[in-house]
Amino acid sequence: MKRLLILCSVLLAAPVNAGQDWELIVVTRGAGWEVNQAKGALKQNGAVLEGVLKDKADGKADYQIRIETNGARAEATFRFISENDQGARLTGTYKKAAKPTKTHCPEQIQLMNSFQYIGLARDACEP
């Protein structure tokens, strides 16, 4: 019985530690404009969201992001893992719906620097 209670406690705690599904769009300026889309889970620890998102087109390219929110402001480090780059710093805004419902809890993060625009959004509520 004690083992069953421990197992149930672990299973009930799992959604709390599970990541939140986010959609990502990246627009990069270089020799031309490049647009990438990805999706996946970001884990939240206080005011920090972080994780690795998979490319929607091929499922292979990984985008690593770490975002720190502070009220309506956001700062992030973003890197293309497949290109083995050092990552870029971006700043921007964070917005969460003022009156979320049980099924509709939109959040948006918009980040920019001189060469990139990153938009993240999620619509589902936490479990």
pLDDT at 22: 93
Q: What is the mean pLDDT of the chain?
A: 81
Instruction: Sketch out the chain's domains with CATH numbers.
Output: 19-122 (2.40.128)
- Looking at residue 125, the DSSP 8-state letter turns out to be P
Q: What is the mean pLDDT of residues 75-81?
A: 94
Query: What are the structure tokens assigned to 126, written together?
Result: 């936490």
Q: How far apart are CA 88 and CA 97, in angstroms?
A: 28
For residue 10, name the pLDDT band (cuts at 50, 70, 90). very low
Q: Say whether pLDDT at 1 is over 60.
A: no
Q: How far apart are CA 34 and CA 36, in angstroms?
A: 7
Query: What are the structure tokens assigned to 15, written together?
Result: 């959604």
Residues sharing a CB contact under 8 Å with residue 16, sequence separation 6 or more, in sequence order: 127
Query: What are the structure tokens assigned to 125, written together?
Result: 């509520």
Q: Say whether pLDDT at 41 is over 50.
A: yes
Q: What is the mean pLDDT of residues 20-39?
A: 90
Q: Say whether pLDDT at 127 is over 90.
A: no
- 3-state SS class at 127: coil
Say what percent of the chain tops pLDDT 70: 80
